[in-house]
Amino acid sequence: MTTVVIIVLVLIAARLGTELWLSRLNRRHVVAHAGAVPEAFRGMVDSATYNKSVNYTLAKNRLGDVEEIYNTFLLLALLFSGVLAIAFHSVIRHHGTSAWAMAGFLFGVGLVMSLFGVPFDWYSQFRLEDRFGFNTTTLKTWWLDRLKGLLLAVVLGYPLLVLVLKIVEWAGDAWWFWAWAAMMAFQLVMAVFAPVVIMPLFNKFTPLAEGPLRERLLKLAARTNFTAQSIQVMDGSKRSRHSNAFFTGFGRFRKIVLFDTLIEQLNEPELEAVLAHEIGHYKKKHIPKLLLFSAASSLAAFYLLSFLARQEWFYRTFGFEPGNIAPALLLFGLLAGVMTFWLSPFIHWWSRRYEYQADAFAAEVMREPGPLIGALRKLNEKNLSNLTPHPLYSGFYYSHPTLLEREVALKRG
């Protein structure tokens, strides 16, 4: 057990140390380019906006460092203080070991952990985002969002936990496969119904008004053979001045969604190019490929969990007695991020590759890269994006290429 503790501590320390090193590397790289606007971005962004984006990047970077240190010490406390084992035995003593009781234990731990993150969420929204002019939400809306999220977790997450634990009881040694199948089925159902049932709980969706923009986007959908139920506008400005566009749902439930902030920031050709990019992801079959990768990764994770759940050392290292799957589920969830962090560069490389492909599709559909380049420049400017991230930092954390990388690829064709 001592050896396992040392290994776990080394892995946790290695992740934190790497995160802080990457953060410092990125800060120094950004500061080195501060002051005058870099030549590549002159004419695109003025000096005041560029310096504001530098300060925004540095502020988020510093807050991220504090949060990572905080979360690491919280993880260590949960793993090695014995508090989880004490809580687990208390639940057993008062409620037994039924699937409902064990799911309650797991749900309760998750709820408590989320509460520890509330101060950082609040500070990020009402201090950092507010300072740089992005926050538009009220404290009432912010708390209502969290209450709705909690209720959805109770209604959907808790029964799913019960189902997984029931499958463990019913399926014997093959439980990991059937639990994975149940999880995949749940995710597919949610992908269909979330846009219809859940998303409207948080935001208002209205059909895009009749006019030139709607006609332009419908023509784009027609010439790319992309069918959607509707084009809708989401009131993103209710919470933030950040902007986005996406399509969601499957089949007859698919809909194109534009943030109202995006419509304010871009002209019609640029909006068409952004939508063409999103359609590119669909036409290049990126979504099913990512779903298959997610399914394969989840299957491997469930198999690894089933292996660890049979190991006495895995339980005893953290103060639990072997024999119940719930502690193994909890410990696996707590430790998974320590390992998956090292896979981030590969996953983000893959994601960036798809972004390049979607950009190329959009440029081809638009018959020129200009509108997409214009949209990307405005989005980076309006969102105060980091225009000069360190390559190693972006490799670990950026799912999209940088603005300069995308421009070069688009102009190269």
Residue 96's Cβ-count burial label (10 Å; 0-12, 13-18, 19+) is: exposed
CA nearest 243: which of 224, 223, 222, 264?
A: 264
Cα 270 to Cα 40, 193, 276, 371, distances in angstroms: 21, 30, 10, 5
CA 85 to chain centre: 30
Contact present, 227 and 221 (Cβ < 8 Å) = yes
CA distance between the termini of the chain: 56
In whole angstroms, give the CA distance from residue 186 to residue 178: 12
Contact present, 224 and 366 (Cβ < 8 Å) = no
Other CB atoms within 10 Å distance of the CB of residue 94: 8
DSSP code string of 282-321: HHTTHHHHHHHHHHHHHHHHHHHHHHHTT-HHHHHTTTPP
* Contact partners, residue 147, CB within 8 Å, separation at least 6: none
CA nearest 254: which of 273, 220, 279, 277?
A: 279
* Contact partners, residue 85, CB within 8 Å, separation at least 6: 318, 319, 320, 327
Paired strand residues for 258: 233, 245
Other CB atoms within 10 Å distance of the CB of residue 250: 11
Active site residues: 278, 359
What is the token pair recorded at 376? 């990307």
Q: What's the sign of the alpha-carbon dihedral 354, 398, 388, 128?
A: positive
Kindly give the pairing relationship between strand 245-248 and strand 255-259. antiparallel
Q: Which position has the token pair 């639940």?
A: 91
Cα 166 to Cα 101, 132, 171, 339, 364, distances in angstroms: 11, 48, 9, 28, 51
